[in-house]
Amino acid sequence: MGRSSDEAKKEVFGKGLGFQKLFMIFIIGCLFGYFYEVILNCVVSLIWHGEFFWERRSGVIYGPFSIIYGVGAVIMTAVLAEKKYKWWQLFLIGGVVCSVCEYVMGWLQEMFTGTMSWDYSDHFLNINGRTSLPVFLAWGLICTIFIGWVYPVLSRWIEKIPMKWGKIFIWVVGIFLAIDMFISFSAVIRMGMRHREVPPYTPYGQFLDTVYPDKKVREAYPNTKFAEEWPEET
């Protein structure tokens, strides 16, 4: 039997902490991370060099999405949102969990692509240049603010989205981002293979060499370099 109209009206998009809400948190985190990195880079450039410098900081070739921040936002939410924690617990747990996540993602990038997007070797108490004490403190602060103040507001906003339009958004953005991530990550992997003089063995590899040569990939990821291109720790 079909559901009554009253039952349908009771459906809430993103209710609880299921896939719908986590997906929306992921997208919001990706967008926040992109603009945060761009703005921070501009501010640092103005302070230290006295000039405005804009640099793309996206995690994919198409669109303003910083994947690591999206993943971080989902992990923060999944681990910390359902329980009541004191601010210092949010700070410590969030800092540790997100720092571990960043370390693992950096290690995976180096392993599978031979490239690096960040290097904290000059930071105090860094671990293999993939994370550090200042990074831990930054993640802890972000987590405390996000879970303590931002997430409750976001959660209410997400649950006000009409079910029909929320599902359409998830399908459209989800399919687009899945294709975008597949192309972007495979293009970076292929660039690493070209760097090691590995020829393309498949038609898709040939397609990547033709459509996404090193120049285009580096334009999309200006901060991504091969390990030997990073300055030596002094």
pLDDT at 228: 63
Region of 86 (left: φ > 0; alpha: ψ -120 to 50; beta: rest) is: beta
Instruction: State the 10-residue block means of pLDDT for the chain, 234 residues long.
Output: 53 91 96 91 83 84 92 92 90 93 90 84 90 93 93 95 96 97 94 90 95 93 74 47
pTM of the model: 0.85
- Going from N- to C-terminal start, the domains of the chain cover 14-228
Burial grade of 20 (CB within 10 A; 0-12, 13-18, 19 or more):
buried
pLDDT at 233: 45
pLDDT at 1: 46
Question: Which ranges in 50-162 belong to alpha helices (H)?
Answer: 67-80, 87-113, 133-145, 151-159
Amino acid (one-letter) located at 65:
F
Amino acid (one-letter) located at 123:
H
